[in-house]
């Protein structure tokens, strides 16, 4: 049996005794610190309340006062046969968010049901939620059997009801166990119910199967961040599954960039060389090529990639105060990645009380729904059944978690889309045009002169016989990006679209001049990463005071009055290029002088065809 602890979640309707059961299990297995029970009894005596085993887990003061569990507690213990990490999750409807936090990492579950009250609405919700989270190993503890005098008929009635419900969601409970958590009967030792021949709770825990080793699954390493030390760029992240070794050729999804692992900068010690690492380890590694990598990308091997899709079909447990409806925009967090998503369809809403499903356009709080979520950026994921580590997500609105769920499949996967090779090469086009294609990216504040310079540059290059074209920030927002606003997410998507179009035009042999504020350095770096050799960043360096003095469109005046939100330089940031290919200082220069400097740069970088002609 594995030495890794089995992660088990214990759930149930409020007051059905799940925390009492957990407290009793800890006591029976000798997991409680010496004197813990006595200390709790003393606290209860001082408060004039009877001792409850639940108080072992209910660590928060508010829980002792209210008598309900409002947090998720975790504790290790050993059954005598295996280590267990048991999670006590709250059962009250208002605290389902916390329950999801606890249940999301579990490998198996114990569902607690009161023998007297029977299966309640919350019991059904918890049962379906465990199924939603992909848990199939579920033992049912029918608690408080002492209150019904260990009546076998009542036990069989509750057992039949919960088995029928779980069967309807495709789950067969491993065991249904009669229990009295207060007295300890059938927790570790057998009790007075001679008619029950099955295992105790502890024996049932020993019978659960641990999850398949993560090291045996495909490599999945979500990038946490990229750090620069001396001359090294260290990509850092946690290996969620699979193995990593020096020499592996990694692909980073969804960008598709690829490079080999040069070194693994593990936490092994100053004089220890690490050549391999495996699931569960946090590592840093360097690459043999300076490709663009950023937080949220998933590193994997080329022969076993995650799914890439803009639309996913998911099962969501909705926790938001406001109903979920088609068109809602949310943030989806998957591993280290964050995606701006829109609800493109609500396909089915499930009534967890009786599992009846129906078509609906609104998902109310605490409801389960099958929905389609659409992202502007491609999402890299695994279906939950294939690899749970990249198949679970949470939904966030503002700063609040409003839902959790699992990915069932791609609504429109892009795995079957392949690049088509052109018959006319880039070099052939360059020879025919008399210059190389490329992207000259003008960035700077509003009023810096980007558009004016770009349009004059296009005219002069055309007069010289160049195939040149301008993509201007205002112009593309009338068509290609007319659906976007000026929030950080929309600005990023605006630049992404323009960057893709610009590079397609550059591959067709055009010299593409773009004139965009493009305020965020990371967005410009993403455009560069599409084809680093073709991308030339030009910083039109006009300071804010000069831009505001010019103010050709009167935008700065409106921004100062608060009439234009998210205005770059005033109410939104601008991040200047760190190392642009050309620093174009327009201070004290005419348009002609600035354009002349830019033309000279372009002719030197894109007009020298000696090397191209020699290889053609």
Residue 189: other Cβ atoms inside 10 A = 10
Residues labelled catalytic: 518
Question: Would you tell me the crossing angle of helices 450-463 and 591-606 to the nearest 10 degrees?
Answer: 60
Distances (CA, A) of 549 to 140, 453, 519, 542, 591: 73, 18, 20, 11, 17
Task: Report DSSP state, residue 184.
Answer: T
Radius of gyration over every alpha carbon of the chain, rounded to an integer in angstroms: 31
DSSP sequence for 62-94: HHHHHTS--S-EEEEEE-SSSEEEEEE---SGG
38: Cβ contacts below 8 Å, ≥ 6 apart? none
Are β-strands 243-245 and 276-278 bridged in parallel, bridged antiparallel, or unpaired?
Answer: antiparallel
Length of the chain: 616
> What burial letters (b/e) apply to 344-374, b meaning 16+ CB within 10 Å?
bebeebbebeeeeeeebeebebbbbbbbbbb
Torsion of CA 437, 438, 444, 447, to 10 degrees: 10
d(CA 202, CA 231) in angstroms, rounded, equals: 55
Residue 473: other Cβ atoms inside 10 A = 20
d(CA 418, CA 505) in angstroms, rounded, equals: 19
Task: Report DSSP state, residue 10.
Answer: E
């Amino acid at each position: 049996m594995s030495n890794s602890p089995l992660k088990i979640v214990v759930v149930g309707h409020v007051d059905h005794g799940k925390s009492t059961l957990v407290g009793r299990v800890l006591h029976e297995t000798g997991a409680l610190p010496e004197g813990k029970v006595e200390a709790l009894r003393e606290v209860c005596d001082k408060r004039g309340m009877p001792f409850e085993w639940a108080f072992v887990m209910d660590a928060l003061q508010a829980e002792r006062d209210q008598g309900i569990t409002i947090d998720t507690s975790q504790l290790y213990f050993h059954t005598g046969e295996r280590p267990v990490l048991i999670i006590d999750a709250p059962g009250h409807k208002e605290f389902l968010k916390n329950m999801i936090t606890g249940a999301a990492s579990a490998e198996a579950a114990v569902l607690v049901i009161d023998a007297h009250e029977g299966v309640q609405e919350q019991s059904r919700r918890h049962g379906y939620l465990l199924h939603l989270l992909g848990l199939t190993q579920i033992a049912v503890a029918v608690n408080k059997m002492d209150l019904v005098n260990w009546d076998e008929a009542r036990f069989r009635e509750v057992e039949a009801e919960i088995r029928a419900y779980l069967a309807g969601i495709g789950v067969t409970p491993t065991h249904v166990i009669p229990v009295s958590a207060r007295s300890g009967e059938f927790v570790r030792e057998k009790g007075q119910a001679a008619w029950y021949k099955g295992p105790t709770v502890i024996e049932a825990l020993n019978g659960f199967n641990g999850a398949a080793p993560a090291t045996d699954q495909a490599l999945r390493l979500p990038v946490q961040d990229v750090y620069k030390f001396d001359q090294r760029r260290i990509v850092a992240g946690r290996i969620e599954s699979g193995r990593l070794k020096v020499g592996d050729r990694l692909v980073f999804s969804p960008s598709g960039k690829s490079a080999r692992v040069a070194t693994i900068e593990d936490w092994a010690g100053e004089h220890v060389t690490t050549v391999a690492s495996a699931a569960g380890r946090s590592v840093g590694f360097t690459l043999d090529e300076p490709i663009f990598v950023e937080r949220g990308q998933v590193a994997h091997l080329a022969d076993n990639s995650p799914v890439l899709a803009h639309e996913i079909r998911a099962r969501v447990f909705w926790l938001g105060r406001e109903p979920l409806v088609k068109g809602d925009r949310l943030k989806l967090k998957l591993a280290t990645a964050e995606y701006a998503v829109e609800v493109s369809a609500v396909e089915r809403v499930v009534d967890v009380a009786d599992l009846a499903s129906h078509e609906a356009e609104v998902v109310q709080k605490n409801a389960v729904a099958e929905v389609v979520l659409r992202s502007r950026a491609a999402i890299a994921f695994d279906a939950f059944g294939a690899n749970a580590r990249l198949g679970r997500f949470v939904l966030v609105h503002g700063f609040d978690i409003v839902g959790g769920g699992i990915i069932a499949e791609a609504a429109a996967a892009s795995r079957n889309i392949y690049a088509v090779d052109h018959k006319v090469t880039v070099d052939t086009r360059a020879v025919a045009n008399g210059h190389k294609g490329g992207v000259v990216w003008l960035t700077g504040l509003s009023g810096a002169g980007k558009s004016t310079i770009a349009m004059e540059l296009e005219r002069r290059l055309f007069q010289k016989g160049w195939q040149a074209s301008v993509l201007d920030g205002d112009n593309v927002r009338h068509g290609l990006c007319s659906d976007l606003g000026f929030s950080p997410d929309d600005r990023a998507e605006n630049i992404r679209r323009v960057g893709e179009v610009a590079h397609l035009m550059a591959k067709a042999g055009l010299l593409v001049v773009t004139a965009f504020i493009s305020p965020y350095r990371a967005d410009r770096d993403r455009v560069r990463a599409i084809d680093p050799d073709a991308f030339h960043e030009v910083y039109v360096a006009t300071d804010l005071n000069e831009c505001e003095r010019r103010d050709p469109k009167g935008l700065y005046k409106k921004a100062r009055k608060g009439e234009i939100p998210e205005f770059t330089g005033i109410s939104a940031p601008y991040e200047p290029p760190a190392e642009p290919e050309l620093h174009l200082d327009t201070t004290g220069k005419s348009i002609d002088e600035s354009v002349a400097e830019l033309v000279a740069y372009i002719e030197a970088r894109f007009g020298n065809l000696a090397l191209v002609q020699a290889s053609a």
